Amino acid sequence: MNLPPPFVPQGTVFKGIGIGQGIAIGPVHIISATNIRIHRYKLTNNLMVEKELDRFQEALAKTEAQYTAAKNCLPPELSSQASIFDALILLLRDQVLLKNINKKIKEDHINAEAAVNSTIRKMCALLATIDDTHIRSRLSDVEQLGQALIAAMNGQPDGLQPVFQEGCIVAASNMSPADVSQLPVSQVAGLVTETGSQTSHAALVAQAFGLPTVMGAADILKSLEHGDILIVDAKEGHIIRNPDQDATKFYQTRQRSQKDYQLEIVRSAHLPALTLDDHRVRVCGNLELVEELPAIIANGGEGIGLYRTEFLYLTRPELPSEEELFEVYRRVVASAAPRPVTIRTLDLGADKILAVSNTEGARQNQALGLRAIRFCLKNIDIFKTQLRAVYRASVHGKVSLMLPMISSLDEVRQTKELIQETRAELQAEGRRLSDDVPVGIMVEVPSAVVLIDELAREADFLSIGTNDLIQYTLALDRGNPEVSDLYQPFHPSILRMIKRVIEAGQNAGITVSVCGDMAAGPLSAPLLVGFGADLLSMPFSTIPIIKRLLRMSFYEEMKEIADEVLLAKTAGEVMNFVNSNIQKKHSEFFRGLLRMAS
């Protein structure tokens, strides 16, 4: 995170988590936190138990009606965001959640508010133990769901109904997705909250509305008063209270510059990534949460190049059923159609917690332990449940299946046998499934690169996961700050491995994609295309940027640059060459990126 300009007084700056891009300047509109009192009392007879069960059911219906109303109130241009509210409604209907709350009312003989509060707190505690930022970011969503249910039982009013001053910045302790959706965007310029995270549902709605937002600004409401002027810098996660004239002028200039360049980039997002000499590259999005799909499409994504499927396994104490998995996969595949969706099978382990594994060894050195395809092949029942759901969903669109962390031919062949067995079972049951579901592998470990010719003959496509490939090849933990400087995407060994994999794919006549961080880098993406990558998959926010850069480039020149860097002996030599031949050639483009980021 960059610091504010030195002329901004230190005591006026608050820090949080920036959501999206943009700068907002305006008077603050403070929404005071509603303190929900949770009474706890014992139920002394069956009549009281039945009454509390009814109150809980009424609260569920009322909360679902609120989410449905918020969904229906979305303007036509944001109708694609309806899936955010669909996801919240699904959580309201989650059978495990409902069962646990009802059980507390019936067996612990406590009132509905206390049962909801206890269950939600337990669920949040489980989420907090998971070492995955995407999973932990759902904490605020679950907390807000509990608050909404308790508020419904206490008879508190739904939603927000204040009068907003035009151009104001809303500041609140926390906001639900329904709250954000009800903000009058013609009057509200920005949003600040004390809680929340970058991938929470409320953040996704705010981003869809184009509101510069900073969340997680702890205790900021204590320092704000009605009438204060705020500057919200969503890119950097800064909030500046009562800026002086110099600061205001500085941020107004940045605001105009960012808006102009952002409009220019996004306006062309839906054009294909066709180079100046007519070479076509497909640019897709990485998906972890269903709610990210509309943003991928809106930013010009040509499909889902990597659908991570771990979320449903890590947010609950019980394994998801085939029906639950099928319903989620069906929604993704159908919503993305006719765009393709590449579903990665379970990659549990490494930087994620194996919540569904009870083996102690799985928790020791997870990066080199029982994870990804290894875990699946040792837990056939879990793996087959997922495979069944994927193949059932395949009739609703265009689906490919991708196997993570492949290190040997045996793993591929064993998985393909399991797939055939699963398909035969589904067909015997009379289930509909597509006959065209390509099965590819992720190349993430050095052994896969050594065996790449043989693996390419077994796979329908290859996908290079550069993050893990760099980590395993250079023998370092990318999350360890003591060796973070050694994590070098431009290390000659990494570039030569990538080139080797792409060549093997070309020789086998199959598609090769790249879905790691390198695919989203303006300096590395041209190298990948120059090496011959057919598809790049990345976070939705970088899709318009990379597509624009590729449209400004000649494929033959990218090939020449890629060939030259293969001769370099150090990462420094590669960087110098790339800066001279990519950044300088497209200097105006990179200056525009700096304007967006500075």
Domain boundaries 10-30+159-265, CATH class: alpha beta
Domain boundaries 46-153, CATH class: mainly alpha
Bond into 338 cis (ω within 30): yes
Which range (36-40, 409-413, 577-581) has the least confidence?
36-40
- Number of other CB atoms surrounding residue 167 within 10 Å: 14
Contact predicate 499/566, CB 8 Å:
yes
Confidence check: pLDDT of 264 > 80: no
More confident residue, 94 or 398: 398
- Return the bridge partners of 14, or none: 239
Average pLDDT over residues 517-531: 94
Confidence check: pLDDT of 597 > 90: no
More confident residue, 146 or 441: 441
Confidence check: pLDDT of 77 > 60: no
Which range (157-166, 195-204, 254-263, 412-421) has the least confidence?
157-166
Structure tokens at 376: 């699946």
Which range (82-96, 362-376, 490-504, 571-585) has the least confidence?
362-376
Domain ranges of the chain: 10-30+159-265, 46-153, 281-597
Task: Output the pLDDT for position 479.
Answer: 58
- Number of other CB atoms surrounding residue 260 within 10 Å: 12
Q: Which residues are catalytic?
A: 201, 515
The alpha carbon torsion through 368, 370, 375, 377 (nearest 10 deg) reads: 90
Confidence check: pLDDT of 487 > 90: no
Question: pTM for the full model?
Answer: 0.69
Task: Output the pLDDT for position 261.
Answer: 73
**What DSSP string runs through 463-509?**
EE-HHHHHHHHTT--TT-TTTGGG--TT-HHHHHHHHHHHHHHHHHT
CB within 8 A of 399, min separation 6: which ones? 333, 340, 341, 342, 343, 390, 393, 434, 437
Whose CA is closest to 474, among 371, 563, 367? 367
Q: What's the CATH superfamily of 281-597?
A: Phosphoenolpyruvate-binding domains (3.20.20.60)
Band the pLDDT of 315: cuts 50, 70, 90. low
Instruction: Give 189's Cβ-side CA count (13 Å radius).
Output: 19
Task: Output the pLDDT for position 353.
Answer: 39
Amino acid type, 566: L
> Could you read off the pLDDT of 168-189 as tens digits, one per residue?
999 998 887 777 877 887 789 9
> Could you read off the pLDDT of 274-310 as tens digits, one per residue?
999 999 999 999 998 777 788 899 889 999 999 989 8
Amino acid type, 109: H
Average pLDDT over residues 142-167: 74
Task: Please name the residue ranges forming H helices in 34-111.
Answer: 46-72, 82-92, 95-107
Whose CA is closest to 160, among 169, 150, 170, 168? 170
Whose CA is closest to 4, among 584, 598, 543, 552? 598
Q: Is 42 left (phi over 0), alpha (psi -120 to 50) or beta?
A: beta
Task: Output the pLDDT for position 359.
Answer: 43
Confidence check: pLDDT of 78 > 60: no
Mean pLDDT of the chain: 85
Whose CA is closest to 352, among 307, 314, 319, 402? 314
Tell me the residue length of the chain.
598
Task: Output the pLDDT for position 10.
Answer: 60
